[in-house]
Amino acid sequence: MGFPVTPDEIDDSVRVAPHLFQARVDKVADVRVLLVGRHTFAVRIDSDLLDWRKDYSALTYTVEHLPDRVDQALRAYLDRLDLVSGSFDLAVDRAGDYWWLELNPNGQWGWLETETGLPMSAAFADLLAQGDRR
């Protein structure tokens, strides 16, 4: 889980283990995007937390429609990696711009289906039954 650090805190001690440092986005929300075959499921996650994974009880969920350019960019990323599914984490800033944070090829999504009613499991079942139809 993330927490803020300053450049002064990054010294030689970080070389003993892998780290990922990202610029802090002045965000208004996060978006978890699940791509499954030809299906895109995007869920806006609203909270006041820097890292929403710290307190699931503080979250609210809304189905999000991604701009076509963002959806196409995420699909191109999966295609480049030859993956048919993945969970992307994005941040949305005050201007409405989307910031890519990470791709997890098998990221969690089940609770989002429960919270939103999106047919994520059915999309996976179709993908398994019919194969990749990109």
Give the predicted TM-score (pTM) of the model: 0.87
Say what the pLDDT of residue 52 is: 86
Query: How high is the pLDDT of residue 23?
Result: 79
The encoded tokens of residue 27 equal: 């965000």
pLDDT < 50 stretches in the chain: none
Beta bridge partners of 102: 89
* Domains, in order of start, for the chain: 24-130 (3.30.470.20)
- Residue 17's pLDDT is what? 85
